[in-house]
Structure 1
Amino acid sequence: MRDFMGMMKQAAQLQSKMQEMQAELDMIEVEGVAGAGLVLVKLSAKGDLKHVRIDNSLMKESEKEVLEDLLIAAHADARRKAETVLAEKMKAMTGGLPLPPGLLG
């Protein structure tokens, strides 16, 4: 019974740490760039889009498709960085123990 109570205490501590980490991830921002800096997007480490900056040279009708592609590329770049931050935070919090996918929900 002691082992069970100890496991429950550890689970509660882990849940508390997870909530703290979720709040921290909202505050961390990563930048993604594309087109040698012509397009920049900022995401929270949780992946929420926070900001988009587009160079004026792309604001031409003839550049519409290029701009669309660069926005996608910049978002993908930022998303990869956000996933890296999340993985580093999880590794630090769990001591490298693998957790099931979707645990951060």
Structure 2
Amino acid sequence: MFKGMGGLGDMGKMMKAAQEMQGKMGELQERLETMTVTGESGTGLVKATATAKGELTALDIDPSIFNPDEKEVVEDLILAAIKDAQQKAQAKSQEEMQKLTQELGLPAGMNLPF
């Protein structure tokens, strides 16, 4: 099609691929906002739910842990559940990004910016 124009044909393919990747990245960003993960601590006494982008959306605390003498324990359980949810959100985000890079035929382990 672009015979005699050097590498312009390849440049067109690269631009098209870049546009496709940009579109798929936008779709992935939207999906990550709706995917949720739940972190737990204290064998499920405290549960924190977050989007795959790491935004905390819910906190569920079993009322049995509310003992005024154990305030620090409750605080630790809450923090642990939130951290667990954030770690799971990061893992889910990386998993989805890896799927996208494989789908686009990009090298494994290629870190694309969010």
TM-score, normalization: structure 2? 0.82
Q: Distance in 2 between matches of 1:9 and 1:48?
A: 33
Q: Distance in 1 between matches of 2:22 and 2:74?
A: 42
1:64 aligned partner, one-letter code: K
Aligned residues: 103
1:80 aligned partner, one-letter code: Q
Q: CA RMSD in A?
A: 1.4
Percent identity reads 39
Unaligned runs of 5+ in 1: none
Residue 55 of structure 1: CA displacement? Answer: 1.2
Deviations 1:27-56, CA, capped at 9 Å, x for gaps = 111000000111000000000000001111
2:110 aligned partner, one-letter code: L
For residue 85 of structure 2, what is the aligned residue in structure 1? 78
2:52 aligned partner, one-letter code: A
* Deviation >6 Å, runs of 4+: none
Q: Distance in 1 between matches of 2:61 and 2:70?
A: 12
Q: Distance in 1 between matches of 2:47 and 2:98?
A: 28
Q: Distance in 2 between matches of 1:90 and 1:100?
A: 8
For residue 35 of structure 2, what is the aligned residue in structure 1? 28
Unaligned runs of 5+ in 2: 1-7
1:4 aligned partner, one-letter code: M
* Candidates 90, 102, 110, aligned match of 1:99: 110
Residue 60 of structure 1: CA displacement? Answer: 2.4
More divergent stretch after superposition (79-88 vs 41-50): 79-88
For residue 52 of structure 1, what is the aligned residue in structure 2? 59
1:9 aligned onto 2:16: yes
Q: Distance in 2 between matches of 1:81 and 1:87?
A: 10
Q: Distance in 1 between matches of 2:43 and 2:111?
A: 37
For residue 39 of structure 1, what is the aligned residue in structure 2? 46
TM-score, normalization: structure 1? 0.89
1:49 aligned partner, one-letter code: L
2:14 aligned partner, one-letter code: M
For residue 66 of structure 1, what is the aligned residue in structure 2? 73
